[in-house]
Amino acid sequence: MTPDYFMNLAYQEALKAFDEGEAPIGAVIAKDGKLIGKGYNRIEKPADPTAHAEIIAIGSAASFLQSWRLDGCTLYVTLEPCLMCLGAIMQSRITAVEYAAKDPRLGAVDTFYYQQEIQRSYKRFPLVSSGLMQEQCSQLLTSFFKQLRKKN
């Protein structure tokens, strides 16, 4: 399966978040070309600030593999991961991250200082690529926040 295939699955997860009134961000995890974990942002309903799409996808992949070590796995996510999710990527030893839209405010994966400091402490950093389905994923977020402003 191609990266496009997995990013589209991540987008499908983001749509579920949208339908539940959560900021539409979705993530999936693949290993050896197979889907092994998925999740979408749901911090509002269960009232859990840690329930980002990536954290849920990582938990689900680890549960599937029955191991917290996700070496060799790729995380596909519709928005650039924040600091917490980057930390979870490091803790789980995920090998590669592919994100769609850049988060200019809280995105941590493409931040030079984080990368530098993480290299210093963990002695590694995942492979990062971006841009797949960028427009579609950004647009979904934009329409969500537009709707939200109308309601408030």
Torsion of CA 152, 40, 69, 71, to 10 degrees: -110
Bridge-based pairing state of the strands 26-31 and 96-101 = unpaired
Nearer to its own copies, 9 or 70 (CB): 70
Size of the site for its own copies (CB under 8 A): 42
**How far is it, in rounded angstroms, from Cα 45 to Cα 117?**
34
Q: By CB under 8 A, is residue 75 in contact with its own copies?
A: no
Count the neighbouring beta carbons within 10 Å of the beta carbon of residue 120.
8
* CB of residue 24 to its own copies, shortest distance in Å: 17
Q: By CB under 8 A, is residue 69 in contact with its own copies?
A: yes
Q: Which stretch binds its own copies (CB under 8 A): 2-10, 17-25, 112-120, 130-138?
A: 112-120
Residue at token pair 């769609």:
100
**How far is it, in rounded angstroms, from Cα 144 to Cα 121?**
37
Q: Is 54 a catalytic residue?
A: yes
Catalytic residue ranges: 54
User: Interface residues with its own copies (CB under 8 A)?
Assistant: 43-44, 46-52, 55, 58-59, 62-63, 65-70, 82-88, 90-93, 105-106, 108, 111, 113-114, 116-118, 121-122
